[in-house]
Every structure is written in structure tokens, then in C-alpha cells.
Amino acid sequence: TAWCHPILFQRIKAAKAQNPNLKIVNIDPRATATNEIADLHLPIKGGSDVLLFNYLLVQLADQYALDHDYISQYTDGIEAALAAARADIEQGDVTVRLGITAAALAQFCQWFIDTPKAMTLFSMGVNQSGQGADKVNSIINVHLATGRIGKVGAGPFSLTGQPNAM
């Protein structure tokens, strides 16, 4: 975000300055300037985005953090999504497959669970990969499962193209 979306990055930085309790997690295999404002950097292995968000979805379900009213009113297929997510995370040690520590993974999940509003900003590394549809789907699933979508300060947000293309 700092490199490819500098105007938006400055707005996020200003929001963080106004609200020091705002948690920012940078999910990126690289250490970039975005880490300047990040409370947590998750340098996951390339191509493991789906695994990360599938793990989060399972944690949300296991810790009773799903919004069942929202799910029943606005979604369908939660059982299939959870079954697929569980099958994915059962393929081996998630932390090894992600390339991050168990403490960092637990912190990420707990912050998401504890936060009534969450935004997931993602860019072309997610959108334009060979697994782009699966990656975006896994991100949207956690927002739908928690009702953190379609309201101020909550939802998945695709940062498409360079700032001048937006």
C-alpha cells in the first residue's frame, strides 16, 4: 500500500494516528514500507493467502464468532465453505505451510475475532494470481461469515491498479 497506493496509505496512516487502538496487519511475504504503520506483519509464503483466510474462517467458527443472523439472512453455503476450509487446514501444520509463527497467527485471528469492524484491503498480488478467485473468495467468506461487510469500516476492499487508475 505504501508503494503502490501512497495516497490511500497516507489516509490509513492518519487514521492510525487519530486512533492508536486501530490495528493494522500487513500480510505480505516482503518487508515493505507498509510495515511502518503495521501492528503485525505476517510474511506468509507466496500462494498461501487462501490457507490463511481458511484458517481464520475455521477459528471464527470454532470460537463462536460467526454472525448466524447475518449468515441466515444474506448468505448460503456456509457449511460447504467451512468444510472446504477445514479440509484445507488439515493438510498439515498450518504455521509451517504459511511460514509464520504460531503466536503471530493466533494474534491475527484474535484481533479479527475481537474487532466488530474489519477491513481487508488487497491488491493485484491477490487479484491477478493463478488462484485469484479462490483468494478473493476466502477473504470475502470471513467477512460474510461475520457480517463485516456492507457497513462503514467493514468489508473486503480491492485496491485495483495503481492509484491513478483508480
- Determine the pLDDT at residue 124: 67
Closest CA to 35 of 10, 12, 2, 4: 2
Contact 50, 135 (CB under 8 A): yes
The C-alpha angle with vertex 108 and arms to 102 and 113, in degrees rounded to 5, equals: 120
- Determine the pLDDT at residue 137: 85
- Determine the pLDDT at residue 122: 84
Query: Quick one: cell of 46?
Result: 507466496
- Determine the pLDDT at residue 62: 98
Tens of pLDDT along the chain (166 residues)? 888 888 899 999 999 999 999 999 999 999 999 999 999 999 999 889 999 999 999 999 999 999 999 999 999 999 999 999 999 999 989 999 999 999 999 999 999 999 999 999 887 666 666 575 777 889 999 999 999 999 999 999 888 765 555 4
The pTM for the full model equals: 0.92
Beta strands in 9-159 (DSSP E): 25-27, 40-42, 119-122, 155-158
Helix (H, G, I), strand (E, B) or coil at 122: strand
Q: For residue 39, what are the contacts with CB-CB under 8 A and spacing of at least 6? A: 23, 24, 25
Contact 160, 153 (CB under 8 A): no
Cβ neighbours around 113 below 10 Å, total:
15
